[in-house]
Amino acid sequence: MTGDIATMWARRLVPCCLLFWQDLATAVESPASQGAGATLMRQSFADQIPDCPLRNQRGETVRFFTELVKGRAVVINFFYADCEKSCPPTNVAIRRLRAGLAPSFGKSVHFLSITLRPEVDSVERLATYADVNAPAQESPDLPDWDFLTGSPEDILSLRRALGMFEADPVLDQDPSQHGSVLLVGNHATGRWTKVNALGNPERIQAQVKRMIGWSEAQRYEDVRKAVAAYRSSLEEGNPPRRRESGELPNLGALVGPITGVDAEGNALTTVSLAGKVVVFGRMDTVCPHGIQAITRVMDRLNLQFGHFGGFHLVTLLTPSLATEVSYLNEMAKYAGAAAGDPWWFLSCDPVELCRFSERSLGLDPSLVVPEEERLSPFEGEVHDLRLVLVDATNTVRGRYEVFHADPARGTAAAEQLEADVRNLLLQTPRLQ
């Protein structure tokens, strides 16, 4: 197979160089010479992209370079269908990016997900995977997203050529090492970079637009917007500090603190969190879907803001669930919190927890489900599982239904929460 690629390269180099000479001839002393640079860079890269055949989720055979990359803008990642670690959050990020790029790019950007386990991920499996991540009915106007498989040798050579390869063989065998990397590029303009999908979504979107935009207008639209905002703040006589748009509502002050016991048995009180931006989550439920949704969002907040000063997460539990210290530890581990993260798991008195969540956080009271309506013996109560955002002055600024029957609405709430936390942190005076 590798021999084939070598011959294929050799074959393609000939026309490529001819083209090249032409470019140089016209480049001399003409304004078009500025484009020549991009052309040269593009061709040096294009020489290396194998034109191997791959099969997509519809069973069609496509040539990687000539049919998927040449002259196109692409976002490429490597995944495998059984991945439970870095692929699912990467897919969430790709969906977000795809929706974000749709208004300005339409179909002029192409998402390509290539399997790392071609032995297992057949066309049929890709089709199922595609149905989950990019259902055809929801995406007629979104950029195309194709899922690709091929021969293991071809996929390895592809990864090498695209730089999605670890020199260390042990690292290379660990899919989490490349699971969240997006290779974004525009073959026509010659601009390529790699982006980590798990970063700040706003930044990723701006970065991708800048890197693969077709025109200068498309590439630098966001920079020009930021300049305009900066200049108007100067004209207003304000110091040119970064501000996010959109004021958050003021939903009332916390009436009092809550105290609880952490996994080490220490009594902790939220009084000591004054001056910080805090997100509270109730987890006194046995609903596994609710716990999963809440912890996933809180984990992401921890990933995004856990290293910031002035940010804290509090998960509230009741002793009926947290009878043992080990349960709190398990919970923290399950949620993804590490020692030293600003994330408390507190076991609280049930009465106090009810009072705090109703009076201070403004959550709805828990409903007791009549015995005859219970679907399972565990379904004793229905809790308001919204996450609550509290600012540095102990004022509630938002409640977010991140666990919602409609997953799209849950995701939207989680994104809003993330944006609002960032916004509040910007306005918060810095703590030592």
Partner 1 sequence: MGAAFHIGVSKADDVLEVDSQFKTSIQNVPRWENELPVPSAAVPVGVGELPPAFGGKEVGDVLHGTAPEYFNQPDHWNQFPTQYYAVVAKAGEGFQLPPSMGLKTPFWGYGLVRPDGSVSPAISPGPQYRFRIGQPAVVRTINNLPEEISTHMHGGHWPSHSDGHASFLVVPGEARDYFYPNVLPRREDGTPDVSEAPSTMWYHDHPADVTAAHVARGLAGTAPCFDDLELELIRSGVLPGIPGKSDQGPAYENPYDVYLALSDKVYHRSGAIWYDRNNNNGYLGNVETINGAAYPRFTVEARKYRFRLLGASTARHRRLRLSDNSTFLRIGNDAWLFPKGQEIQALAISPGKRADIIIDFSKYQPGTSVYLENILHQKNERGPDGKLEDAENPRVSGSPEFVHQLLRFDVVAADPSVPNATVTAASMLRPHEPIHASEVEVRRAFRFERKQGHWAINGKFYDEHVANAVPRLGSVEEWTLQNGSGGWWHPIHMHLESHQQVRNLTTGQAPFYQNSFKQDVSMLGPNSEIVIRMRFRTFEGPFMFHCHTNEHEDVEMMFQFEVAKVASRKAQPVQLFFP
Map the footprint of partner 1 across residues 33-52, applying CB under 8 A.
Answer: 33-38, 40-41, 44-45, 47-48
199 near partner 1 (CB under 8 A): yes
Segment contacting partner 1 by CB under 8 A, of 25-33, 51-59, 117-125, 263-271: 25-33
> Which residue is it, tokens 């995406």?
139
Residues in the chain: 432
Q: Which of 109, 173, 102, 94 is nearest to 142 (CA)?
A: 102
Q: Rule CB under 8 A: choose which of 164, 278, 331, 361 binds partner 1.
A: 164
Per-residue burial over 97-106, b = 16 or more CB atoms within 10 Å of its CB, e = otherwise: bbebbeeebe
Q: Coil, strand or helix: which one is 311?
A: strand
Tell me whether residue 242 or residue 370 sits nearer to partner 1 (CB atom).
Answer: 242
181 near partner 1 (CB under 8 A): yes
**Going residue by residue from 287 to 316, which x/- string records binding to partner 1, judged by CB under 8 A?**
--------------------xxxx------
Tell me whether residue 184 or residue 402 sits nearer to partner 1 (CB atom).
Answer: 184
Segment contacting partner 1 by CB under 8 A, of 58-66, 145-153, 169-177, 314-322: 169-177
Tell me whether residue 168 or residue 371 sits nearer to partner 1 (CB atom).
Answer: 168
191 near partner 1 (CB under 8 A): yes
163 near partner 1 (CB under 8 A): yes
Strands, E assignment, 7-90: 53-56, 61-63, 73-79
Rounded to a whole number of angstroms, the minimum distance from the CB of residue 221 to partner 1 is: 10
- Alpha-helical (H) ranges within 33-162 are 33-46, 87-105, 123-133, 152-162
Rounded to a whole number of angstroms, the minimum distance from the CB of residue 211 to partner 1 is: 6
18 near partner 1 (CB under 8 A): no
Instruction: Give the whole-angstrom CA distance, residue 186 versus residue 98.
Output: 16
**Going residue by residue from 213 to 252, which x/- string records binding to partner 1, judged by CB under 8 A?**
---x--xx--xx-xx--xx--x----xxxx----------
Tell me whether residue 45 or residue 327 sits nearer to partner 1 (CB atom).
Answer: 45
274 near partner 1 (CB under 8 A): no
Instruction: Give the whole-angstrom CA distance, residue 287 versus residue 314.
Output: 19
211 near partner 1 (CB under 8 A): yes
Strand-pair partners of 347: 261, 317
Q: Rule CB under 8 A: choose which of 119, 138, 141, 166 binds partner 1.
A: 166
CA 173 to mean position of chain CA atoms: 23
Q: Rule CB under 8 A: choose which of 1, 2, 17, 53 binds partner 1.
A: 17
> Which residue is it, tokens 């304004």?
31
Calculate ∠ Cα 378-297-140, nearest 5°.
Answer: 105
Q: Is 406 exposed, middle or buried (0-12, 13-18, 19+ CB in 10 A)?
A: exposed
Tokens at 121, concatenated = 């991920």
Rg of the chain over all Cα atoms, to the nearest angstrom? 26
**Going residue by residue from 64 to 93, which x/- string records binding to partner 1, judged by CB under 8 A?**
----------------------x-------
Rounded to a whole number of angstroms, the minimum distance from the CB of residue 233 to partner 1 is: 10
